[in-house]
Amino acid sequence: MTPTDNFISHLIELRNRLLRIVVGLSLIHILINVTDKKARTLEVAKLGAHIIGVHTGLDQQAAGQTPFADLAMVTGLNTGAKVSVAGGVKAATVRQVVDAGADIVVAGAAIYGAADPAAAAKEITGLAHGSNAGAAGGFNWLPWVLAIGAGLLGLFLMKGCNKPAEPTAEVAPSAEVMPADAAPAADAEMCIRDRVEEMPRKNIIRTSLTDRGALIQVRDLAEAAEICNYIAPEHLELSMDEPLAFSKTIKHAGAIFMGRNTCEALGDYCAGPNHVLPTSRTARFSSPLGVYDFQKRSSLIMVSAEGAQTLGKVAATLAYGEGLQAHARSAEYRLKS
């Protein structure tokens, strides 16, 4: 869905008002799912957009597309807006991005998907610096720091460790218990192949299934639940007669689609609270976006006189250990002896 010009104008006006309070707030318009990117670039630049974003999605990257042609087109229009680029940016391509005129570069998977994210970030930064060392006026490092910092933050939020991301898969266990040597997996694969051939984006789908897909046949529903909880999928379809009972065995999943009538596409567009879900196994420790994420809470701590006698000694001991004598004394003042 492309934002209307009126909507963009309102956002820009809001940004200009907020600038009185927040310094450096900018409106970025990302060229994704836009048919005529040149025309749209000129339109949003005329409306006052501060940043034009060139973005190549994962499905487009899987089909072999890169952002460089669009980047060259946008920078060549000389709209006055800054240009950001995301999608497929890595050590091997970062020079090309910078030389093409990008003001802001987002390096995501090349950092958080690396075995050593810090080393990957350093390498990308060094290559970018080397390609612009002699540029007039110097290179603006703030956007790079922000983009690479965002990539590193994504690493810890998405993976929780410095290991390469494990492949993910969506699992829809059958309500029937099948022996491990039965044929349903082969039948399912054949059905998938037939359906893929009917799709306009079949080349992208094939690449996605080959690189990131898995078809897992389980011995029983208990094993299915164990695998689901290990994968912690963003989406989990329970295509079975009694999904409610089985859902009680699922501890880690973003959105669970209950029963054969509840396909995942409904959750994408018109069912459920929203489609902002934990990806890359982060459902192990995070939840779908909800109203509670926008609520502010305070902790209320109230200790009785008797409780202060016990906790005060503990707090004083720890405070002295940290070298915070005033903290320790504040707890000791409340001790009766």
Mean pLDDT, to the nearest integer, of 302-323?
A: 94
Class of domain 217-294: alpha beta
Whether pTM exceeds 0.95: no
Sequence spans of domains, the chain: 5-158, 217-294, 298-337
What is the full DSSP assignment across 209-262? HHHH------SSHHHHHHHHHHH--SEEEE-SS-HHHHHTT--S-SEEEESTT-
234 carries an active-site annotation: yes
Write the pLDDT tens digit of every residue in 218-236. Answer: 889 999 999 999 999 999 9
50 carries an active-site annotation: no
User: What does CATH list as the number for 5-158?
Assistant: 3.20.20.70
Q: Is the pLDDT of residue 66 over 70?
A: yes
Average pLDDT, rounded, for the chain: 76
Out of 50, 234, 237, 252, the active site residue is 234
Write the pLDDT tens digit of every residue in 178-187. Answer: 344 446 777 8
Q: Which has the minimum average pLDDT: 3-12, 39-48, 165-174, 321-330?
A: 165-174
Instruction: From residue 2, give the alpha-carbon distance in Å to each of 51, 107, 308.
Output: 16, 25, 60
Write the pLDDT tens digit of every residue in 147-171. Answer: 444 544 444 444 443 333 333 334 4
Q: Count H helices and E strands in the chain, helices first.
A: 15, 6
Out of 29, 55, 235, 252, the active site residue is 235
Write the pLDDT tens digit of every residue in 248-299. Answer: 999 999 999 999 999 999 988 888 888 889 988 999 999 998 888 888 889 9
Q: Say if residues 84 and 28 touch (Cβ distance below 8 Å).
A: yes
For residues 170 and 257, give the distance between their C-alpha atoms in angstroms, rounded to a whole number: 12
